[in-house]
Every structure is written in C-alpha cells, then in structure tokens.
Copies of this chain bind each other. A is one copy, B any other.
Amino acid sequence: MITARDVAEKLGIAVSTVGRAMADDPRISAKTKAKVRKAAERMGYVGNNPARVMRGGSSKLIGLMIPDVANDFYGSVAQTLSTCFDREGYGLVLSLTGDDREREMRQIRELVGARVAGIILVPTARPKRESKRMLSQIAHIQFLRRHSALGQTWFGMDDSAVVKSATRYLIERGHRHIGYIGANDVISTGAARANGFRMAFSESAVAHHPELERHGVPTVEYGEAAAEDLLARARRVPSAIITGSIHITLGLIRYIERAKIKTPEQLSLIGFGEAPWFEWWRGGLTTIQPSAEDLATSCGLWFLEQVRKGKIEPLPAYASVTISKLAIRSSVAEPMMDRRRRID
C-alpha cells in the first residue's frame, strides 16, 4: 500500500512536505500542494489512520453498542447515527451486545483496543465492574438506559411520562383491568416505564392491580410468553394491554396473531416503538412512539461536538430527554359492556 514516503520519493521532496500538503498546511506553496495532490491521487495514496492515531490523533471511529440491530427502532438509530457521523468524517463501529454483560464487556474491550474516539451505548442491565472501569478511560455516553455508575452523560426519552399518559388514555376509555408487560426493573427504562404505569393509577383513583404486571427480559420470546400468561388468567382478565418495550410488543403481536384474538373487540392494545407497519396492522396499532431519529440525532450531534473538542473522560454531566408521543390509531376500544359490569 502506498505511503507518504512513496509519494515523497517519487516527487523528490520530503515526507513532511507531503504530509503538510495533504493537510492543507498554510506554509506550503500552492504549487507544491497541487503537485503533491496530483501525485497522491495518481498513485492512489490514502493516509494511514492507525499511524495518525499512534501519533496522538483521534481515531475518527465511534463505537455504537446496542442490544441488536434487526428491528426498526435500533435500525433507525444506527442509520441516523451512521449518517450523522459520516458527514463529519467519522466511521461507526457497530457492536451488538445481545443484552449480555459478558459480550458487552468483550465488545468494550475491542472498542478500547481499537482506540475509538468514543462510545455510545445502551448498557445491559448490570454491566460488569470491568466494563465500568474500561469505560472510564474513554469518552462515552449512555443512550436510552442509564446507570449512574457509568457516568453522568445520558440521552434518553420521557419513559415514565409517556407510559403514564398512555395508561391514562386507557383508564379514561373505561378500562379497569389493564395489563402491562415490560422490561425488568434492573433495566433503567424498564423501571421508569413501569413506574409511569403505576402513577397513572395513583393519580386517577382507579385501583392498580399488581398481578396484571409482567416484567422480564425484553425479548420477543418473553413478550409472547407473558402475553399468553396474562390472558390465561381465570379472573381479572385484562381488557387492555400496554407494552413497555419494542421486542415485547412484537412478542405480544405474535401471540395475538397465533391465538387469533380479536383486537380491539376482545382486547385493546397499546404497543411500544415505531415501525412503518404499525400503521397498517389490523387498521392501525396505537403506540407509544419514541422518535428514534430525533433521539439519535441529538445524541449524535452532541457527542460529535464533545469528541471533536477532544474532550476526554469524564464528559460534562448532561441529560437530555426527548419527548415521545402517543400515536393514536385503532387498537383501543372501550371494554366490552358485559365484561365491564362483571368487573366493577
């Protein structure tokens, strides 16, 4: 592979001159610059970033650690961030944790080893001590989920507030037995969203039934199983279900389709997340809708700014909350009369 030295020798000048010309150093004459540029172009010279990094430069690479990328939400996040970074000449290293702390730790090690300029991460439920220590050596920012032990820099959404308003929406429509399926409390968003769910009841003087809550690992499989479990109840069968995670929403839908449950006649639904097809599913799935693009854009721009300023750990403490909306479509109806009578 062609090096700056090759270009220099071909032109009979010094390597440093080549370097300066390529970096558009003001001390170099326009004539030399043109000469160097042309030769570099012709010879197919592309600067060696690892060498630059070793000299103390920043790596132009940013790590993104997310649970997975095969769904609309994280897909959009990756898409938005990659595009955002690309505009500033930064590349995106994609690390998938699978929500597994061991894998998370290995990935952090890889990223630190690659000397990325920074890391944006959706932390797992309980990051390992080693992960924390490694992160403390490198500029990083938490996305969506948050652990105070991982730093004070976080971009997230209004988890509690939006779930509360979705729950209130159901209560106002007459639902009294509302099921909730969400992530475990060890995940910060899981705790916040469940909390929003409960707050809606305490603020409305309608009884909250803890036995209608289900919490677990946010996967499609868990969502499907929890939905089945919740609807198999002998009494206080929920007339509506709210989900607090994208994967769980997919699992719930999978179950509803499998069990051929009529919505919203037999069951009202409020899903979580953002996918084009939610608009079409059975005439439209009402969802709690965080904006992946807004969230990722604000996070990406802010982070780039810090990285470019050469900010090292710790980054300034900063919390940004992106407001979500409740996209009202057709999956919520009033509960069936007979059932409501029986219940109240």
Contact = CB atoms under 8 A, between A and B. Distances in A.
A5 interface: no
Interface stretch (A87-95, A160-168, A188-196): A87-95
A253 interface: yes
A46 B115 CA distance: 9
B82 A95 contact: yes
Interface in A103-125: 103, 106-107, 109-115
Interface of A: 1, 44, 46-51, 53-54, 59-61, 68-72, 74-76, 78-79, 82-83, 86, 89, 91-96, 98, 103, 106-107, 109-115, 133-134, 137, 250, 253-254, 257, 275-277, 279-281
Smallest CB-CB A-B distances: 3 pairs: A50-B50, A70-B79, A50-B53
Contacts of A93: 61, 91-94
Chain A facing B: main interface SS:
helix
A114 B83 contact: no
Contacts of A96: 79, 82-83, 86
Contact of A91 (B71, B114, B134, B254): B114
A135 to B, nearest CB: 11
B79 A113 contact: no
A280 B255 CA distance: 12
Given A75-B75, A93-B93, 20 more contacts: A48-B113, A49-B50, A49-B115, A50-B51, A60-B113, A69-B78, A69-B79, A70-B79, A79-B96, A82-B95, A83-B96, A86-B96, A86-B107, A91-B93, A91-B111, A92-B93, A92-B94, A94-B94, A257-B280, A275-B277
A103 B85 CA distance: 13
A71 B75 CA distance: 7
Nearest to A57: B50
A113 B110 CA distance: 19
Given A115-B48, A137-B44, A277-B275, A82 B54 contact: no
